[in-house]
């Protein structure tokens, strides 16, 4: 069963939703002329609490035209916003987010005036870890003043625990997703201009979170951290800068930084369209770089998110995800260390490497021509050729999964690399 988990949503960019419906750009349709839309509106208006069962309704799997898709997406976003707005407003007023009973506090500062598309958002993780709450609280206090922005909202969250790996425990990913959603909904943040940084233990978090949440950020800046087991393969479409003191030898941080510099350079050489990076080893600096690392924050903020790249490299880490860019796996099937590398040229997708037998392509009208067949090639042969249908179920699943107004997909195409059931 494919995941339709209700994580949350974000809907501050009203213009984006009303005039740019990312999946299904078209002229304004008349709802009265569209039976599927009438059924959707009747269902939503009859019982708002029934939204969790929406994908099981017959009309939710009926193929939509491009015009119907536009109206369906707008109706679904309105229903979702109305459902979550009261709770999110209370959370935001208290400067906290909560998922599955775990809370994360944060402090925020606003810089400048928002550009036409909305504010940038920088999430900045504090150091500490493996120490007392008092020490970590002081690190959190320090983090809010560590970097300044020309424009944007700077958020320093307080790690929910005081563990050494406080920024890459499994609860962090959904908490950050919810934080981003709330900032888009309530602070006029542009979802395509969200950035991640962190210092020391916070830098550990950047190493870990950036590859596994790459499609939720525009770029990332790692400061004075340790990568542990993570690898850079998943950074193919996420600009990444790494800053390290030359003499920061504790836990061999400087040696790991030098290794990542070599690995990123090799990845870039083999894939010149991907792996944009900048690694700076600051001469004669130890764990504290005397704020020279601030240049990394400025560097990363030149980029906007590329949500629909031509090529995706997805390597599962120890915290598993079911979706990255336009790829998804069935809920409960993700395995640590599994890999998919896929590319797209027009309506043709090539699976370059995969040890995952079953997954999905997530599609939309501004990515492929959904009125023409989709072809999928694996090991030199066509394993799928046929239409991709737009459905309300696909739209709704991507809305509740991320709550990202720029990341809604109207089609899900199941792909099987083998004939085994």
- Contact 152/108 with Cβ under 8 angstroms? no
Q: What is the per-residue pLDDT for 36? A: 80
CA angle 230, 235, 236 (to 5 degrees): 140
**Which parts of the chain register pLDDT below 70?**
1-34, 47-49, 420-421
CA atoms lying within 13 Å on the CB side of residue 204: 22
Neighbours of 366 (CB within 10 A): 14
> Where along the chain do its domains lie?
96-301, 311-416
Q: Can you read off the two tokens belonging to residue 55?
A: 């994908």
Q: What is the per-residue pLDDT for 287? A: 98
Q: What is the per-residue pLDDT for 49? A: 66
CA angle 357, 361, 367 (to 5 degrees): 155
Q: What is the per-residue pLDDT for 37? A: 85
CATH of domain 96-301: 3.40.50.1820
- Contact 244/257 with Cβ under 8 angstroms? yes
Calculate the alpha carbon distances from 340 to 48, 364, 384 in Å: 38, 20, 17
Smallest CA-to-CA distance from 232 within 275, 270, 283 is with 275
What secondary structure does DSSP assign to 337-370, as a single string? T-EEEEEEETTEEEEEEES-SEEEEEE-TTTS-T
Q: What is the per-residue pLDDT for 147? A: 98
Calculate the alpha carbon distances from 386 to 74, 79, 214 in Å: 27, 32, 30
């Amino acid at each position: 069963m494919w995941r339709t988990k209700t994580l949350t949503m974000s809907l501050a960019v009203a213009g984006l939703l009303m005039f740019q419906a990312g999946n299904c750009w078209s002229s304004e349709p008349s709802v009265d002329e569209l039976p599927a839309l009438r059924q959707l509106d009747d269902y939503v208006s009859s019982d708002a609490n029934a939204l969790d069962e929406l994908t099981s309704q017959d009309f939710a799997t009926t193929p939509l035209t491009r015009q119907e898709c536009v109206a369906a997406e707008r109706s679904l976003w309105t229903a979702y916003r109305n459902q979550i707005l009261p709770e999110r407003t209370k959370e935001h007023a208290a400067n906290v987010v909560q998922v599955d009973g775990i809370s994360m506090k944060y402090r925020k500062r606003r810089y400048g005036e928002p550009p036409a598309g909305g504010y940038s958002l920088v999430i900045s993780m504090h150091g500490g870890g493996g120490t007392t709450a008092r020490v970590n609280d002081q690190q959190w206090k320090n983090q809010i003043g560590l970097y300044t922005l020309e424009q944007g909202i700077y958020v320093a969250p307080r790690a929910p625990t005081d563990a050494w790996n406080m920024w890459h425990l499994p609860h962090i990913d959904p908490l950050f997703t919810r934080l981003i959603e709330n900032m888009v909904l309530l602070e006029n943040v542009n979802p395509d201009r969200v950035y991640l940084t962190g210092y020391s233990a916070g830098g550990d978090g950047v190493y870990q979170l950036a590859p596994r949440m790459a499609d939720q950020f525009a770029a990332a800046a790692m400061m004075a951290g340790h990568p542990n087991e993570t690898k850079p393969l998943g950074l193919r479409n996420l600009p990444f800068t790494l800053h390290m003191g030359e003499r920061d030898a504790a836990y061999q941080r400087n040696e790991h930084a030098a290794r990542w510099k070599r690995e990123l350079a090799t990845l870039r050489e083999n894939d010149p369209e991907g792996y944009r990076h900048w690694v700076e080893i600051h001469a004669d600096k130890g764990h504290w770089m005397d704020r020279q690392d601030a240049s990394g924050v400025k560097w990363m903020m030149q980029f906007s998110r590329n949500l629909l790249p031509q090529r995706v490299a997805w390597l599962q880490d120890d915290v598993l995800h079911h979706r990255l860019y336009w790829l998804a796996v069935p809920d409960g099937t993700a395995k640590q260390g599994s890999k998919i590398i896929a590319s797209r040229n027009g309506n043709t997708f090539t699976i370059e490497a995969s040890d995952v037998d079953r997954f999905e392509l997530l599609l939309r009208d501004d990515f492929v021509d959904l009125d023409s067949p989709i072809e999928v090639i694996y090991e030199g042969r066509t394993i799928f050729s046929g239409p991709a249908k737009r459905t309300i179920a696909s739209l709704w699943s991507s809305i509740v999964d991320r709550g990202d107004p720029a990341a809604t997909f109207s089609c899900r195409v199941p792909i099987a690399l083998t004939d085994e059931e």
